[in-house]
Amino acid sequence: MRNVLHFIVVTILVALVTVGVYVGLTSLGLMPPEASAQSIPIDGLFDLEVKLIAFFFALIMVPMVYSLVVFRRKKGETGDGQHIEGHTGLEITWTVVPLIIVIWLGVLGADNLRQIQSVDPQAIEIGVIAHQWDWSFQYPQGFDSDVLYLPVDQQVVLKMQSLDVIHSFWVPEFRVKQDIVPGRIVDYRITPDLIGDYTVRCAELCGLHHSTMEKAVKVLSQADYAKWLSDNTAKAIAQATAQAGHPDAGRGQVLYSQMGCKTCHSLDGTKGIGPTWKGLFGSKVPLADGTTVTADQAYLTESIKVPGAKTVAEFGAGAMPNFGLILKDSQIADLVAFIMTVK
The residue range of the domain holding 55 is 2-70+88-116
Radius of gyration of the chain (CA): 30
Residues 228 and 292 in one domain: no
So what's the pLDDT on residue 324? 74
So what's the pLDDT on residue 237? 77
Instruction: Kindly give the pairing relationship between strand 214-220 and strand 148-151.
Output: parallel
Residues 109 and 155 in one domain: no
Report percent pLDDT > 90 for the chain. Answer: 44
What gap in Å lies between CA 138 and CA 268, rounded to an integer? 31
Average pLDDT over the chain, rounded to whole?
Answer: 88
Grade residue 235 by pLDDT with cuts at 50, 70 and 90: confident
So what's the pLDDT on residue 221? 95
Last residue of a domain, one of 116, 133, 152: 116
Domain count, the chain: 3
Residues 145 and 169 in one domain: yes
- State pLDDT tens for residues 276-298: 898 888 889 898 888 999 989 88
- The alpha carbon of residue 145 and the mean position of all alpha carbons in its chain are separated, in whole angstroms, by 19
The burial class, CB within 10 Å (0-12 / 13-18 / 19+), for 150 is: buried
Residues 178 and 253 in one domain: no
φ, ψ dihedrals at 134, nearest 5°: -160, 165
- State pLDDT tens for residues 47-92: 999 999 999 999 999 999 998 988 887 787 777 777 777 888 888 9
Question: What is the pTM assigned to this prediction?
Answer: 0.72
So what's the pLDDT on residue 211? 92
Indicate if the pLDDT at residue 319 is higher than 90: no
Position 205 in a domain: yes
Indicate if the pLDDT at residue 7 is higher than 90: no
Report percent pLDDT > 70 for the chain. Answer: 98
So what's the pLDDT on residue 247? 82
So what's the pLDDT on residue 244? 62
Residues 138 and 210 in one domain: yes
Last residue of a domain, one of 222, 243, 264: 243
Grade residue 108 by pLDDT with cuts at 50, 70 and 90: very high
Instruction: Kindly give the pairing relationship between strand 148-151 and strand 186-190.
Output: unpaired
Residues 134 and 239 in one domain: yes
Q: Are 261 and 335 in contact (CB under 8 A)?
A: yes
Instruction: Kindly give the pairing relationship between strand 143-145 and strand 148-151.
Output: unpaired
- State pLDDT tens for residues 17-30: 999 999 999 998 88
Indicate if the pLDDT at residue 306 is higher than 90: no
Residues 212 and 268 in one domain: no
- State pLDDT tens for residues 238-291: 776 666 667 888 888 888 887 778 878 888 888 878 888 988 888 898 988 889
What gap in Å lies between CA 44 and CA 243, rounded to an integer? 51
- The mean pLDDT value for 157-175 works out to 92
So what's the pLDDT on residue 328? 78
Least confident of 3-7, 119-123, 238-242, 254-258: 238-242
Peptide bond into 133 cis (omega under 30): yes
Position 81 in a domain: no
